[in-house]
């Protein structure tokens, strides 16, 4: 209960938070850092408290995504080293050869600019705009749900204190979420080998990039010459970047589908209320587990599941095409099959950072139907060649559908008929429409 009845509830709420942030509270800041998914070290704890203080002093300004970038770049820089002249020379040569090999495997044109060699922190910086675009809908949902539940669950004597503090809570919740996203992206920066490694277009259009330090770590222990690993990964990266530049509609469609899916996510308020009722600030482990496990995101609705399946189909089509084109371009590389299998296993298992992103946004990045998509693209390539295959990316209406992954024979039949100049076989609906139109044309007109 407030001591001064004339005191603004917002000011009293801020005073309560300031007391905690200044250290005059029984809550251990290291436990709060653990609940936020941050390392339990003095520097991280100090950074967390500083960011929360900033959110407290500047409420209502939306989510400060600069926090995510700062966190990501700091984590990515830990243990990173600059590209050496030898690494640069070797990988630039790999990109040069990769471009020549790709010209023989696809009709998709080469990139206008030169590929890049970037460090981990630079990857985090360049990709953060897309990460924040994907994560913002869920961040806002969590902030709103947290504010609503705290307001509903607060004791009666604290209602006046909390009911007017929504902006403060949103700012603090947004700061915690942004820092968690920074942790995810910073960890990913230590795992990815290239700009397109995740499968979605994170770098600016037409940009291809390798991360030399991560490429070297990817190849260590494979018992495969480093130059072959570099060349294979360079081919994959160029193929991915070429595809998104060629199919200009693809990038926007894919990002739009992901953000639309994220906007449909709601927070399980019953679960959140249950946590709020028994929440012990000195022991936030249950809350941390709920956030890490994704327990606050309820099962997908039927509409969400359908949207997810459409999204997974497009992701699988992209990755499957890249696999087939890369296999065709690297057929002269002695260890290409072994490297390809390593890539497939790595992609199938994902990593801890991807799992963390899935809990933050409710979306798995790895397409489940990749092998079916690759088999379909290979069947199309064998039947009609690279030019007709690549032409399917010229418009979204031409892109194969999920049914084509199940059974590509109908798609192959249509493409083969078109390539030979024959009319494709009509299905019953097409035939019925043609019969109706013919009847109308043949029916005599009345005078």
Mean pLDDT of 70-90: 92
Mean pLDDT of 313-335: 95
Q: Where is the domain boundary, 190, 208, 231?
A: 190
Identify the pLDDT of residue 23: 47
Nearest CA to 365 out of 326, 316, 399, 297 is that of 316
The 10s digit of each residue's pLDDT in 84-132 is 899 999 999 999 999 999 999 999 999 999 999 999 999 999 999 999 8
pLDDT of 396 above 80: yes
pLDDT of 331 above 70: yes
Considering the domain boundaries, does residue 391 fall inside one?
yes
Identify the pLDDT of residue 120: 96
Mean pLDDT of 418-446: 60
pLDDT of 232 above 70: yes
> For residue 1, what pLDDT band results from cuts at 50, 70 and 90?
very low
pLDDT of 422 above 90: no
Identify the pLDDT of residue 417: 92
Mean pLDDT of 348-358: 68
Considering the domain boundaries, does residue 29 fall inside one?
yes
Identify the pLDDT of residue 322: 97
Considering the domain boundaries, does residue 298 fall inside one?
no
Identify the pLDDT of residue 146: 66
pTM score: 0.79
Mean pLDDT of 251-267: 81
Considering the domain boundaries, does residue 392 fall inside one?
yes
* High-pLDDT (> 90) share of the chain, %: 42
Mean pLDDT of 426-434: 53
Identify the pLDDT of residue 102: 97
339 CB contacts (<8 Å, ≥6 apart)?
Answer: 222, 224, 228, 229, 232, 233, 333
Number of H helices, E strands in the chain: 20, 2
Identify the pLDDT of residue 414: 93
Q: Which residue has the higher pLDDT, 336 or 429?
A: 336
Mean pLDDT of 247-255: 91
66 CB contacts (<8 Å, ≥6 apart)?
Answer: none
Identify the pLDDT of residue 310: 86
Identify the pLDDT of residue 429: 47
Identify the pLDDT of residue 305: 81
Identify the pLDDT of residue 336: 97
Domain that holds residue 167: 1-79+130-136+162-190
The 10s digit of each residue's pLDDT in 141-199 is 777 776 676 666 666 655 555 555 556 666 666 777 788 888 889 999 999 999 999 88
pLDDT of 218 above 90: yes
Considering the domain boundaries, does residue 63 fall inside one?
yes
Q: How many domains does the chain have?
A: 2
* High-pLDDT (> 70) share of the chain, %: 65
Identify the pLDDT of residue 10: 45
Average pLDDT, the chain: 79
Considering the domain boundaries, does residue 306 fall inside one?
no
Sign of the Cα pseudo-torsion (383, 235, 313, 394, in order) = negative
Considering the domain boundaries, does residue 355 fall inside one?
no
In whole angstroms, what is the distance from residue 127 CA to residue 71 CA?
14
DSSP 286-355: HHHHHHHHTTTSPPPPHHHHHHHHHHHHHHHHHHHHHHHHHHHHTTT-TTHHHHHHHHHHHHHH--HHHH
What is the DSSP secondary structure assignment for residue 142, as one 8-state letter?
H
Identify the pLDDT of residue 179: 80
Identify the pLDDT of residue 52: 56
Identify the pLDDT of residue 106: 97
Q: Which residue has the higher pLDDT, 186 or 140?
A: 186
> For residue 421, what pLDDT band results from cuts at 50, 70 and 90?
confident
Considering the domain boundaries, does residue 208 fall inside one?
no
Which range among 17-26, 213-222, 293-302 has the greatest average pLDDT? 213-222
Mean pLDDT of 271-298: 61
CA distance readout (Å), 336 to 109, 124, 333: 23, 29, 5
């Amino acid at each position: 209960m407030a001591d001064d009845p004339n005191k603004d509830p917002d000011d009293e709420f801020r005073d309560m938070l300031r007391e905690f942030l200044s250290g005059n509270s029984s809550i251990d800041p290291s436990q709060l850092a653990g609940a936020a998914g941050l390392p339990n070290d003095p520097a991280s704890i100090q950074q967390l408290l500083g960011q929360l203080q900033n959110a407290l002093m500047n409420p209502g300004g939306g989510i400060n995504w600069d926090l995510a970038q700062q966190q990501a770049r700091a984590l990515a820089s830990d243990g990173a080293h600059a590209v050496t002249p030898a690494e640069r020379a070797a990988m630039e040569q790999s990109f040069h050869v990769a471009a020549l090999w790709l010209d023989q495997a696809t009709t998709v044109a080469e990139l206008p600019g030169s590929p890049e060699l970037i460090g981990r922190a630079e990857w985090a910086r360049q990709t953060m705009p897309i990460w924040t675009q994907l994560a913002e809908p869920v961040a806002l949902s969590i902030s709103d749900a947290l504010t609503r539940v705290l307001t509903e669950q607060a004791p009666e004597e604290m209602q006046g204190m909390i009911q007017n503090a929504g902006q403060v809570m949103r700012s603090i919740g947004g700061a915690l979420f942004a820092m968690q996203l920074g942790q995810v992206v910073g960890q990913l920066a230590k795992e990815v080998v290239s700009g397109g490694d995740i499968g979605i277009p994170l770098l600016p259009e037409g940009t291809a990039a390798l991360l030399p330090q991560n490429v070297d770590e990817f190849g260590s222990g494979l018992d495969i010459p480093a130059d072959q690993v570099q060349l294979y990964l360079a081919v994959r990266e160029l193929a991915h970047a070429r595809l998104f530049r060629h199919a200009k509609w693809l990038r926007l469609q894919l990002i739009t589908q992901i953000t639309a899916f994220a906007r449909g996510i709601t927070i399980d308020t019953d679960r959140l209320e249950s946590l709020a009722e028994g929440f012990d600030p000195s022991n936030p482990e249950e809350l941390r587990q709920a956030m890490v496990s994704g327990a606050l995101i309820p099962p997908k609705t039927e509409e969400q599941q359908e949207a997810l399946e459409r999204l997974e189909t497009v992701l699988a089509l992209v990755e499957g095409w890249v696999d087939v084109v890369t296999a065709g371009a690297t057929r002269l590389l002695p260890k290409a099959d072994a490297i390809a299998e390593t890539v497939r296993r790595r992609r199938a298992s994902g990593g801890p950072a991807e799992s963390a992103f899935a809990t933050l946004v409710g979306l798995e990045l790895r397409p489940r139907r990749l092998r079916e998509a690759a088999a379909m693209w290979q069947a199309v390539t064998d039947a009609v060649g690279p030019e007709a295959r690549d032409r399917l990316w010229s418009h979204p209406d031409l892109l194969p559908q999920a049914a084509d992954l199940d059974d590509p024979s109908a798609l192959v039949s249509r493409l083969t008929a078109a390539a030979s100049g024959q009319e494709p076989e009509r299905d019953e609906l097409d035939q019925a429409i043609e019969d109706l139109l013919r009847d109308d044309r043949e029916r005599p007109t009345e005078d």
